[in-house]
Amino acid sequence: MSLLRLDEVTRSVRLPDDETLEILKGVTLDVEIGDHVSIVGRSGSGKSTLLNLLGLLDAPTSGSIWFDDRLTSELSGNARDRARARGADIGFIFQQFNLLGGRTALENVMTPMLYASGRQFWRRRQFATEMLERVGLGGRLNSMPEKLSGGEQQRVAIARALIRRPRLILADEPTGALDIETGASIMAILDDVAEVSGAALITITHDVNVAALARRHYRLDRGVLAPIDVSRVLSAAPEVGL
């Protein structure tokens, strides 16, 4: 079953000099439950813009996006519904971790639960503790983000993205701010938790080695999304190991 489907999606912005910049051009993509998709692209190719569309944070200029076989333009009519869908079904991981400063690891992981209902809301502390234990941070529950290493911060971010058991995980350059070794271990954790929870994972990266971990591979080039054969890319750059 299709979880997320993009059909001929474009996204343009109006520049100050009144010209229109088309950032995304006719993007078509189909992501199924449990899928793992990577999207590589150079800086400025439109990756973040695409991510915002995938995450229901933004609406396309033209074309359609279906989530759960529901046209999101119907959702987009109601910002509140979109926010709820986002909270319940989508987990974000950002390049810059984007942890909330001044809050402990535990409080950061509990944050998405503040917008949940029922058990998820009332037992958020317990769920968050378990989630942090799963990413190997059971001993750092009360540490502030500033006191954690980059890898640890990203693990907190992963725990936070997964706490509500989303069906779609969107990772924007998840290893971009980490050294190669830490990046590899983060990807392993991400892969593992996504696998266990059966969520679809879309990794957006400029690092082909990270991209190679996915099952299906795309390249975004100047706003155009196209499938690629990642093994060829990898063999062309053998010096970059994981």
Partner 1 sequence: MSSTKRQSPLAALVGSFSEAWAEVRIHRTRVLLSLIGVAVAVAAITSVVGLGAIVEQSVQESNESNGGRPATIGVSAYTQNGASFDAALLRTTLNSAVDRYKIRYHTSILSGQLSVQFVAGAALVNTTAIDVDYGVMHRVKIKEGSWFAEKDINRLAPALVVNRPFWALMGSPDLRTHPTVRILGSHPITAVIVGVRAVRDGDMPNMMMLMDAFRVAAEPASYAGQSQFEAWVPPPLAKRVTARLSAELAASVPSGVDVQVNRQDYAAFGADPIGPVRIAVGAVAALVLFLGALGLVNISLVTVRQRIREIGIRRSFGATAGRVFFAVMMESVVATAAAGVVGVGVAVAVVENPWVQEKLSRGVTDLPSFPIGAALFGLAAATLVGALAGLLPAIAAVRFKVIDAIRY
Ligand X SMILES: Nc1ncnc2c1ncn2[C@@H]1O[C@H](COP(=O)(O)OP(=O)(O)O)[C@@H](O)[C@H]1O
Residues that bind partner 1 (CB under 8 A): 48, 52, 55, 57-58, 67-68, 70, 79-81, 83-89, 92, 94, 98, 100-103, 107, 111-112, 114-118, 120-122, 160, 164, 167
Binding test (CB under 6 A) with ligand X, winner from 6, 29, 39, 46: 46
Interface with ligand X includes 160 (CB under 6 A)? no
Structure tokens at 46: 């439109």
Structure tokens at 148: 């954690």
Tell the smallest beta-carbon distance from residue 50 to partner 1 (Å): 11
Tell the smallest beta-carbon distance from residue 36 to partner 1 (Å): 21
* Alpha-helical segments (H) within 9-92: 47-54, 72-76, 79-89
Q: Which residues contact 92 (CB under 8 A, 6 or more apart)?
A: 55, 98, 161, 169, 170, 171, 172
Pick out residues in 2-31 that bind ligand X (CB under 6 A). 13, 21, 23
Number of shown-chain residues binding ligand X (CB under 6 A): 11
Side by side, the strands of the sheet bearing 20-32 are 20-32, 2-14, 62-67, 70-71
Q: How many CB atoms lie within 10 A of CB 114?
A: 11
**Contact by Cβ (8 Å): 139, 111:** no
Interface with ligand X includes 219 (CB under 6 A)? no
Interface with ligand X includes 203 (CB under 6 A)? no
Structure tokens at 209: 């080695």
Closest residue to bound Mg ion by CB: 48
The binding track of 5-44 with respect to Mg ion, each residue x by CB under 5 A or -, is ----------------------------------------
Give the interface with Mg ion as residue ranges (CB under 5 A).
48
